Amino acid sequence: MHQLFHHLLLATSLVAIASGNVIRGVNLGGWLLVEQWMTPSLFYDTTAADEWHLCNQLGKEACLGLLQDHWSTFYTRDDLVAIQAAGLNAVRIPIGYWAVDLLDYEPYVSGQFPYLIQAVNWAQELGLTVLIDLHGAPGSQNGQDNSGLIGPVLFATNSSNIDRSLNVIRNLTQEFSQSQYGGVVTSIELLNEPRLGNTFNMSQLKSFYSGGMSNMTSVSHGQMNMTIHDAFWGPQYWAGYDPSSSGESSIPTVIDTHQYYAFPPLGNLTHHAILQSICNISYLLKSTDLNLLPTVVGEWSLESGNPPNTSSSDQNDGDDTAKRTWLRLMFEAQLAAYEPNGPGQPSLGWYFWSWKQEWDIDTWSYRMGIGDGWIPSDVSNMSQRVYPLLSNGCVDAGFNYTAPPLSSGSSSGGGNGGGGYGGYPPYYYGSSPAKSAPFLLSFLLVMLTLYLTL
Ligand SMILES: *[C@@H]1O[C@H](CO)[C@@H](O)[C@H](O)[C@H]1NC(C)=O
Ligand SMILES: *[C@@H]1O[C@H](CO)[C@@H](O)[C@H](O)[C@H]1NC(C)=O
Ligand SMILES: *[C@@H]1O[C@H](CO)[C@@H](O)[C@H](O)[C@H]1NC(C)=O
Ligand SMILES: *[C@@H]1O[C@H](CO)[C@@H](O)[C@H](O)[C@H]1NC(C)=O
Ligand SMILES: *[C@@H]1O[C@H](CO)[C@@H](O)[C@H](O)[C@H]1NC(C)=O
Ligand SMILES: *[C@@H]1O[C@H](CO)[C@@H](O)[C@H](O)[C@H]1NC(C)=O
Ligand SMILES: *[C@@H]1O[C@H](CO)[C@@H](O)[C@H](O)[C@H]1NC(C)=O
Ligand SMILES: *[C@@H]1O[C@H](CO)[C@@H](O)[C@H](O)[C@H]1NC(C)=O
Ligand SMILES: *[C@@H]1O[C@H](CO)[C@@H](O)[C@H](O)[C@H]1NC(C)=O
Ligand SMILES: *[C@@H]1O[C@H](CO)[C@@H](O)[C@H](O)[C@H]1NC(C)=O
């Protein structure tokens, strides 16, 4: 009884903040920059594992045809309507530099830009804000498939790569500062997940961020924030960081920190350790005495590796009550951690990775979570959250909750086989055995690649 009262009290104070401008968003991943594990069918006729090699193998004409079809169908207005209906108020849109600046010898194809404009227009109509994120930079900033090109990190080895990226940043800022877009593009992220190492060091990254600041400031009319990824060093490292030259007028800088339990060294934690780690991050993101910059969690998911007794992509059994119960807890624990619960806190909110996949994966698809009940149908409605909050801001993981039986309309329950994009309820990976073997293989390869490059 006491606990219930406590719960209500905290829920009430959260509602007050929720009515403010907490960012609750999803990524539109695998759309304007494709990733094999998210849309495997695009890669069926090739041995490619990234967009560069996909287009290199198909040739520009065939690749453009394939991707035009993908751009016009994988995300449509219906998706943004569903996103808004889910109580979300923001989207993060990853894009590669080649949408704006493409050299003849590069195999990529261009044509994404009109779809980006279209998405921004829909967002404006539906009241969503947009964070545009430079996910792929020339030379690759992390060597991973998500940058468009798997291989060495060559971004910082050629000043032309830096200049071209800054030109893209300036293009995006100038384009979406125009009044017809209504200010819905609230921020540009300069560079997704830069991987520092032998060929790319912190002073080079900071110099790039400073270049981004002066380029954005020159064209933004003060309307946008600038988002910078923490390069996996954590928000603490960036406390008090100011990318502007002294005396220069500047725009607010927001730190993006990605929180995953899917990859080493956090990929094998027990549930208990995952919850403790989430609670630790929560404490950090709510600290008002560390001089942290405003912070968003620009990517997170429900994947937690393959230890015993946890959910994972190869245990994609929709009828598993224990799995659905855990995913609910892991979801709500992260909501509590990534949303502010008081004034003046660094945390601004979050963007889940990702709204969907071609064949949805339980731990990575937001819409599948709604369909199967471990994600509330309206995430902005505090009374749909089941786990009580403790006074430290973390969820009470000991609360006795068991996921209810799947309703008949949910995605995992019915035989929702077949392929194709965009259906709702989403296609369930487990019910499409013909596709599952290559899919699983490619997913594991991505995991392995990520592990090797980390
Ligand atoms: C740097 O990149 C440009 C194209 O972006 C290329 O023309 C030039 O050869 C590269 N320079 C070096 C030293 O690799
Ligand atoms: C940005 O680049 C796109 C694609 O090349 C182009 O259509 C658009 O006009 C550019 N916008 C600005 C403001 O330069
Ligand atoms: C922009 O930055 C300001 C000040 O740091 C912050 O209050 C605001 O929430 C940010 N907006 C977005 C959309 O990131
Ligand atoms: C970073 O790399 C650049 C280019 O190689 C080099 O000039 C600089 O000394 C390095 N900085 C640090 C702090 O290692
Ligand atoms: C863009 O950044 C580059 C590199 O820092 C700088 O040389 C250039 O002057 C900047 N352009 C503008 C318009 O600020
Ligand atoms: C889990 O631990 C095993 C053995 O140490 C390791 O090989 C594997 O990469 C780890 N997986 C993840 C996702 O962290
Ligand atoms: C959480 O923080 C506490 C106190 O700083 C620390 O002892 C513990 O190891 C951390 N746990 C995790 C899982 O990060
Ligand atoms: C996994 O679950 C079983 C049955 O609930 C339990 O006996 C076992 O200790 C658990 N293992 C771990 C590593 O948590
Ligand atoms: C919030 O959710 C509760 C429980 O599902 C529901 O009764 C209530 O009508 C919802 N409130 C709003 C404003 O949608
Ligand atoms: C949890 O709740 C269920 C149903 O209300 C009950 O049967 C069970 O005994 C409870 N478990 C604990 C540990 O309290």
- CA-proximal residue: ligand 2, atom 1 (nearest): 171
Residues belonging to the active site: 193, 299
Host H or E run for residue 176: helix 159-176
**Residue that has been written with the tokens 């291989």 in this structure:** 151
Nearest atom, ligand 1, residue 159 CA: 1
- CA-proximal residue: ligand 7, atom 5 (nearest): 280
Ligand 4 contact, 288 CB (< 6 A): no
Helices (H), 286-400: 321-338, 366-372
pTM for the model stands at: 0.87
Nearest atom, ligand 7, residue 273 CA: 13
Instruction: Give the ligand with the smallest distance to the CA of 446.
Output: 6
pLDDT average, residue stretch 315-336: 83
**Residue that has been written with the tokens 């991050």 in this structure:** 281
- CA-proximal residue: ligand 1, atom 4 (nearest): 160
User: Which residues line the pocket of ligand 5, CB cutoff 6 A?
Assistant: 166, 211, 214-215, 218
Ligand 8 contact, 272 CB (< 6 A): no
Per-residue pLDDT, 427 = 30
User: Which residues line the pocket of ligand 7, CB cutoff 6 A?
Assistant: 273, 276-277, 280
What's the mean pLDDT when you consider all of the chain? 86
pLDDT value at 9 more than 60 = no
Q: How far, in Å, is the centroid of ligand 2 from the Cα of 172?
A: 7
Short-list 331, 354, 352, CA closest to 275:
331
Per-residue pLDDT, 269 = 84
List pLDDT tens digits, range 381-432: 999 999 999 998 999 999 999 999 887 656 543 322 222 222 222 333 322 3
Q: Using the CB atoms, write b or e for 210-248: b if 16+ within 10 Å.
A: bbbbebbbebbeebbbbbbbbbeeebeebeebebbeeee
For residue 192, report the phi and psi dihedrals to the nearest 5 degrees: -80, 135
Ligand 3 contact, 186 CB (< 6 A): yes
Per-residue pLDDT, 389 = 95
pLDDT value at 166 more than 80 = yes
Instruction: Give the ligand with the smallest distance to the CA of 398.
Output: 10
Give the span between the Cα atoms of 23 and 89, in whole angstroms: 7
- CA dihedral (414, 443, 309, 387) in degrees, to 10, reads -70
CATH class for the domain made up of 2-453: alpha beta
CB atoms within 10 A of CB 333: 24
pLDDT value at 215 more than 80 = yes
- CA-proximal residue: ligand 7, atom 4 (nearest): 280
Q: How far, in Å, is the centroid of ligand 4 from the Cα of 201?
A: 6
Q: How far, in Å, is the centroid of ligand 5 from the Cα of 435?
A: 47
pLDDT average, residue stretch 16-26: 74
pLDDT average, residue stretch 279-293: 97
Instruction: Give the ligand with the smallest distance to the CA of 325.
Output: 10
Mean pLDDT lowest among 110-114, 152-156, 188-192, 437-441 = 437-441
Q: How far, in Å, is the centroid of ligand 2 from the Cα of 10?
A: 47
Per-residue pLDDT, 170 = 98
Q: How far, in Å, is the centroid of ligand 10 from the Cα of 400?
A: 6
Short-list 230, 299, 309, 232, CA closest to 269:
309
Instruction: Give the ligand with the smallest distance to the CA of 401.
Output: 10
Per-residue pLDDT, 417 = 27
- CA-proximal residue: ligand 3, atom 3 (nearest): 252
- CA-proximal residue: ligand 6, atom 2 (nearest): 268
Give the span between the Cα atoms of 30 and 238, in whole angstroms: 29
Q: How far, in Å, is the centroid of ligand 8 from the Cα of 308?
A: 7
